[in-house]
Amino acid sequence: MSESAKPQPQGKGEKTHGGDSSYVGIDAILEQMRRKAMKQGFELNIMVVGQSGLGKSTLVNTLFKSKVSRKSVQPDPEERIPKTIEIKSISHDIEEKGVRMKLTVIDTPGFGDQINNENCWQPIMKFINDQYEVYLQEEININRKKRIPDSRVHCCIYFIPPTGHCLRPLDVEFMRRLSKVVNIVPVIAKADTLTLEERDYFKQTIREELRANGIDVYPQKEFDEDAEDRMINDKIREMIPFAVVGSDQEYQVNGKRILGRKTKWGTIEVENIAHCEFAYLRDLLIRTHMQNIKDITGSIHYETYRVRRLNESNIHFSAHLSDGPAVQPKANGQPEEQPPIAPQANGVAAQHEALSHEM
């Protein structure tokens, strides 16, 4: 191992000690990790949620600078609004500078488009929990694969329509329920509708409403690890929700070819931070916080789900053991409903008590 360490490029881990005699080479682990990651590739699962016509597919195309959205893959150009919410998941393998990424975009056409949108978040929650379930099953397996394919939703981008006034009840309901199971990144869609003052006012209103309703969007305050993280994340928190504009068409502006939207009164440049905040969103999702998003999904949201599930199956198990009670916990191991059991240690004991009383 040490022979390969010596001819390594003196990366950032290098400390000029008295000489090579005191250089151990621990920092070479970074290079090893890098090579391994490049060989393995990354996975990222992004879900886009919002009413139809808010530019979700366009934004996803713009984020990854290629046609990865559902619309680009579907051969039929018919734009009909489905009667019920469908969940469509499309995977692509993209590569940049030797780094491979398996990107899965999960689209939710039909969300919020009906006249009666009661419980339109349920299919989505069911889907997310199903992904956790699949991963859990694989993990519990006796003979499990070396690398469990990760289909859990890492990040959910929620599109807020640019009304300029406040969040709608539907938005509040959805975000409240889903911020507990997945990282939500709210964005203001079609931000070229709003002037700069309207945009600031709208963002302020949204932030206040999120705070008032106790909705914790990514980056969550409670998961900041240290002061540096907190500083960076605070800056980001000042800016959410990002006001984005998406486009997959290129125009010539000042001799450069850039992505934008051309209207009769001007051209909106997607990557110009004076025009919209797309660049910040892209940096957050891809360049700086991608790994953090995946970590939070894996270590917090997934763990919460796991604890809940295992508690449930515990109760289920113990309920079977005691003399045939008529009461089965109503969730019964189904992951789609929110079971009334809190994932705490004493929750299990309380349930035991309840069951024995009911006997």
Partner 1 sequence: MSSGETSASEADGNGGMMAQQKNLEGYVGFANLPNQVYRKSVKRGFEFTLMVVGESGLGKSTLINSLFLTDLYSPEYPGPSHRIKKTVQVEQSKVLVKEGGVHLLLTIVDTPGFGDAVDNSNCWQPVIDYIDSKFEDYLNAESRVNRRLMPDSRVQCCLYFIAPSGHGLKPLDIEFMKRLHEKVNIIPLIAKADTMTPEECQQFKKQIMKEIQEHKIKIYEFPETDDEEEMKMVRKIKDRLPLAVVGSNTIIEVNGKRVRGRQYPWGVAEVENGEHCDFTILRNMLIRTHMQDLKDVTNNVHYENYRSRKLAAVTYNGVDNNKNKGQLTKPDTADGMSPLAQMEEERRDHVAKMKKMEQEMEQVFEMKVKEKLQKLRDSEAELQRRHEQMKKNLEAQHKELEDKRRQHEEEKASWEAQQRILEQQKLDASRTLEKNKKKKIF
The residues that touch partner 1, with contacts defined as CB under 8 A, are 51-55, 79-81, 113-118, 161-166, 168-170, 173, 190, 192-193, 195-196, 261-269, 274-275
Is the Cβ of residue 208 or residue 234 nearer to partner 1 in the bound state? Answer: 208
Is the Cβ of residue 161 or residue 219 nearer to partner 1 in the bound state? Answer: 161
Phi, psi of 234 (to 5 degrees): -65, -40
In the complex, minimum distance from the CB of residue 269 to partner 1, in angstroms, rounded to a whole number: 7
In the complex, minimum distance from the CB of residue 69 to partner 1, in angstroms, rounded to a whole number: 14
In the complex, minimum distance from the CB of residue 63 to partner 1, in angstroms, rounded to a whole number: 19
| Distance of alpha carbon 69 from alpha carbon 57, whole angstroms | 5
Q: How far is CA 167 from CA 175, 209, 331, in A?
A: 11, 7, 32
In the complex, minimum distance from the CB of residue 252 to partner 1, in angstroms, rounded to a whole number: 15
The DSSP bridge partners found for residue 269 are 260
In the complex, minimum distance from the CB of residue 330 to partner 1, in angstroms, rounded to a whole number: 25
Is the Cβ of residue 162 or residue 219 nearer to partner 1 in the bound state? Answer: 162
In the complex, minimum distance from the CB of residue 260 to partner 1, in angstroms, rounded to a whole number: 9
Is the Cβ of residue 173 or residue 336 nearer to partner 1 in the bound state? Answer: 173
Which pairs count as long-range contacts for 323-332, CB under 8 Å and 24+ apart, including other chains?
Answer: 323/359, 325/355, 325/358, 325/359, 326/358, 327/355, 327/358
Phi, psi of 327 (to 5 degrees): -90, 120
Is the Cβ of residue 66 or residue 193 nearer to partner 1 in the bound state? Answer: 193
Residue found by looking up tokens 């008032």 in the block: 212
Closest CA to 249 of 67, 46, 73: 67
Is the Cβ of residue 50 or residue 329 nearer to partner 1 in the bound state? Answer: 50
4 is written with which tokens? 């390969």
Return the SS3 of 328: coil
